[in-house]
Structure 1
Amino acid sequence: MTSDRPVPDPDQPPWEQMLRALLGDQADEAIAEMRARGIDPSALDPAGTLPSDPAAMQQVLAQVQQLFAGGDDQPVNWRMAHDLARQQAAQGGDPSLTPTQTRQVLDALSVAELWLDAATELPPSAAPARAWSRAEWVEATLPTWRTLTEPVASSLSTALVDALGPQLGGLSGDPLSGDPLSGDPLSDDPLSGAAPGVALPGLPGGLEPGQLLRRLGSAVFGLQVGQAAGTLARDVFGTTDIGLPLLDVPAPALVAANVDAFAEGLDAPTDEVRLFLALREAAATRLFTHVPWLRAHLLATVDAYARGIAIDVEQLEEAVGSIDPTDAAELQRALSGGVFAPHTTPEQQAALGRLETALALVEGWVDEVSAAAALPHLPHSVALREMIRRRRAAGGPAEQTFANLVGLELRPRRLRDAAALWAQIARDGGQAARDAVWDHPDLMPTAEDLDDPSGYASRRAQAAGDSADLDRALAEILGEEPPAQD
């Protein structure tokens, strides 16, 4: 990259600043040509999560230029994501915790564990409790963000090359040989529109179009992940706020500054609010520690959804094919109809349904157990429980940020139904029976159970009877002794 590229104008939208930093004097021509071909350049930032802060944008643009000067084609630029996440987390200040803050958090988590012993059969996590600054939360959780976002980034990178590769090849001023979508075996990148190893004139660093788009996608997604993680760091209380465990090894932790900020606007004393949030964090940590299949199940369901993401190119072509490409207003109206939105397949819908049910069950169990533990000790526990329920149901900055990034809304839409179900199971069989449901994935309640909590026991008894009948039939076929009856 050359150093004489124009300095981006902070009044320009972030996506335009990025293009101008990358393409220099050719940016105007590139943007005009993309629009003329029916491609909205703002689609490079469909979620609007690129940083708007001028200082942060200048820093990340310098990193983008370094990316195109050299680097690989990984789906997400993780160095960029890390640096921006730290910058975003530090907005408004993020000093190291004082000894008093650390002691308050650790004491709250210790007391929470004692209270939870009376409310659940699941024992505490063996991992030590932690009190974190926002920056420490970023450092601890970023590896899981990698697991969550790379499948999405890979899918969108492929879609970006698929949709924009031919157009970018045309911008180079070098005529493309053959149909760029034909998969011509003469090209090592059928979407690049160029022969193997040919760097088209006018592209930054002499990159091929497909490679340029992949690196651009890597940079854009790196910025989005960094923005998302940094935004969450200023909002979350611990490691389980979005319903997914963000640590490889579960451990109870609270972000002291966020807990204190949340308590400032409430009538309840700060110590009581801290204890209530500590109960929720410790309860969720117990669940993810002692139900070893649960974390993998949730992350695999997110992965199954994310790997199916693709931009509907036919819908895009249909939206812009019948309009005057020189009419900017008409073009904008056509592109605002969701043509860049991910195309949801039946498989994705099924994965989404499984994820929503699983998240509701996790949140409902945490809600029920932490409330039971808090009720004898915290005068404001009922009000705090309702406040957290509404916060999760409404979807705060944490949920919205993740929805923009991955395309999934992680709100437990049926939290109240799930909490009612866990309470019903405990009434029928005690808290040991309630917690034993987590022993195996096959025992997990279904959406039907959320619809009718009171019928859960009879449905499970019927299922057990059907299974016993099947075992007896198999034994007869195999000439074996039928299983003993309970």
Structure 2
Amino acid sequence: MNLVDWDFAVTVGSRVAGPGPDVTPEEAAAAVVELREGAERSTPLVRDFTGLHAEAGTAPVLVVDRTGWLRANADGFSKILSPVVDRLIEKKGPPSAFAEAVGTRVTGAEVGLMLGFLSSKVLGQFDPFHDPYGRLLLVAPNIVHVEREIGADPTDFRLWVCLHEETHRVQFTANPWLGSHLLAQMHAVADTIEPSALLDGLRRGAEVLRGGNASVLDLVSTPEQKEILDRVTGVMSLLEGHADVVMDGVGPTVIPSVAEIRTKFNQRRKGAGSLDKLLRRLLGLDAKMAQYRDGAVFVRHVVDKVGMEEFNAVWSGPETLPSKAEISDPDAWVARVL
């Protein structure tokens, strides 16, 4: 049984996303080659800067279009939601074939609307839940669109994006427990939400994209759910902040225009219709992206205070990860862990 018709979600999402910027076949081929080379080039750069050792070539690098990103994420979400499906069957039994067909079609349309919007914004993503070692996705149309929009040097911008996403690959590959821990937290959240409430949340998310004021986080109301969400927020803040620190730290040695890129990219994040604003509205948490920025502040503060080698104690296990509160108070983390 499925809660969502994932194939239909991809179909709807692809229509919402559109094809991306106009490029010639030669430009498209050159972008694919340069992104693959950038990902490969990033591996030793990230290793040398972070001190984290992740075997090269373990996760495939996929340069995809928007539909490719949609399919990958539909596959990932179907795995994450599988515990909810199992719980639904345990509590209510399987629905009739007709009810399942109609219900999954409706939720497929709602999920497709959300994923389609996101697929036109995301530049890259490391999927740690893809067997056996994850996979690195680079969304070529979106990268080309942004580099044109901010007037960045294409070679510099593509390597800059690759550094960020390669850092995520290294985080999970050098620390194999991390993906399992994050997946367990997601399953824990899913297990506390009633299936009917989850379906309502999907519809609320679509309503937000149509201009409504609903919030998917309305589903997270119990102390147990909030505690889990705080743990996930702490982990995501760390991962995103660490990747930002690495891409900007490595950047000056290999990317001549990195300072200009960062300035223009940050200005773009503030623009109308940006991923920043979408996440704030969709998640009902205005501080979400601010927390990601706080992650970079956390990493820089700890590294400046104790050095990168001591900072890497953060990757020892779940117990050494910063809490949401410690992200805003890095000295508290240093006192507790170091």
Scaled by the length of structure 2, what TM-score is found? 0.76
Q: How much does 1:155 deviate?
A: 8.1
Tell me, what secondary structure is at the counterpart of 1:307?
helix
Deviation at 1:386, TM superposition (A): 5.2
The reply to whether residue 122 of structure 1 matches residue 52 of structure 2 is yes
| Range that drifts further, 366-375 or 303-312 | 303-312
Given that residues 39 and 166 in structure 2 are in contact (C-alpha distance below 8 angstroms), is that contact kept between their aligned partners in structure 1?
yes
- The corresponding residue for 2:316 is 439
Please say if residues 19 and 66 of structure 2, whose CA atoms lie closer than 8 Å, have aligned partners that are also in contact: no
SS in 2 for 1:131: strand
Say if 2:326 and 2:332, in contact at 8 Å, map to a contact too. yes
What amino acid sits opposite 1:131 in the alignment?
V
1:344 corresponds to which of 218, 221, 224: 221
SS of residue paired to 1:416: helix
Q: Residues 213 and 281 of structure 2 are in contact (CA less than 8 Å); yes or no, is this contact kept in structure 1?
A: no
* Residue 296 of structure 1, CA deviation: 2.3
Is 1:235 aligned to 2:121, yes or no? yes
Whole-Å separation in 1 of the counterparts to 2:84 and 2:280: 12
Asked if the contact 1:119–1:373 (Cα under 8 Å) also holds between the matched residues in 2, the reply is yes
Deviation at 1:441, TM superposition (A): 1.1
Change (3 A) 1:396 1:295: farther
Say whether 1:138 aligns with 2:70.
yes
Q: What is the identity percentage for the equivalent residue pairs of Structure 1 and Structure 2?
A: 25
- Report deviation, 1:78: 2.7
Partner of 1:24: none
Shift of 1:306: 3.0
What is the deviation of 1:362? 0.9
Residue pairs, 1:39-78, within 5 angstroms:
73-78=1-6
Larger Rg: 1
Amino acid at match of 1:349: K
1:130–1:252 Cα contact (<8 Å) kept? yes
C-alpha distance in 1 between matches for 2:220 and 2:292: 27
Alignment partners' CA distance in 1, 2:123 and 2:175: 22
Q: Identify if the C-alpha distance between structure 1 residues 348 and 442 changes in structure 2 by more than 3 Å, giving closer, same or farther.
A: same
Tell me the equivalent position of 2:148: 264
Aligned with 2:176 (options 292, 315, 323): 292
**How far off is 1:91 after superposition?**
4.3
Larger mean CA deviation between 267-276 and 416-425 belongs to 416-425
C-alpha contact (below 8 Å) 2:279/2:288 kept by paired residues: no
Higher relative helix content: 2
- 1:156 CA drift (Å): 9.2
> What 5-or-longer segments of structure 1 have no aligned partner?
1-72, 162-187, 190-207, 313-335, 462-486
> Match for residue 107 of structure 2?
221
Matched, 1:112 2:42: yes
* Equivalent residue number for residue 400 of structure 1: 278
- Determine helix, strand or coil for the equivalent of 1:143: helix
User: Cα deviations across residues 94-142 of structure 1 (Å, max 9, x unaligned)?
Assistant: 9988432221111222232243233111234423433222233233333
Q: Does 1:308 align with 2:192?
A: yes
Query: Relative to structure 1, is the Cα distance of residues 424 and 437 closer, same or farther in structure 2, using a 3 angstrom cutoff?
Result: same
1:84 Cα shift?
3.0
1:337 shift after superposition: 9.4
Mapped partners of 1:158, 1:93: distance in 2: 47
* Residue from 228, 239, 248 that aligns with 1:362: 239
Query: Contact 1:129 / 1:251 at 8 angstroms: preserved in 2?
Result: yes
Moved more, 226-235 or 437-446: 226-235
Aligned ranges 1:249-260 → 2 under 5 Å: 249-260=133-144
Query: In the alignment, is the contact (CA less than 8 A) between 1:232 and 1:398 conserved in 2?
Result: no
Cα contact 1:155–1:308 (8 A) shared by 2: no
Aligned AA (2:278): Q
RMSD over aligned CA atoms reads 4.0
Task: Give the Cα separation in 2 of the matches to 1:453 and 1:138.
Answer: 36
Higher relative contact order (CA 8 A, sep 6+): 2
Change (3 A) 1:273 1:337: closer
Per-residue deviation at 1:86? 4.2
Question: 1:288 Cα shift?
Answer: 1.6
1:369-400 deviations in Å (ceiling 9; x for gaps)? 22111122324323434555676799944883
1:160-199 correspondence runs (5 A): none
Q: 1:113 is aligned with what amino acid? A: T
Distance 1:87 1:143 in 2: 18
**One-letter amino acid matched to 2:163:** L
Aligned-pair CA distance for 1:287? 0.8
Contact 1:360–1:413 (CA under 8 A) maintained in structure 2: no
Q: Which residue of 1 aligns with 2:206?
A: none
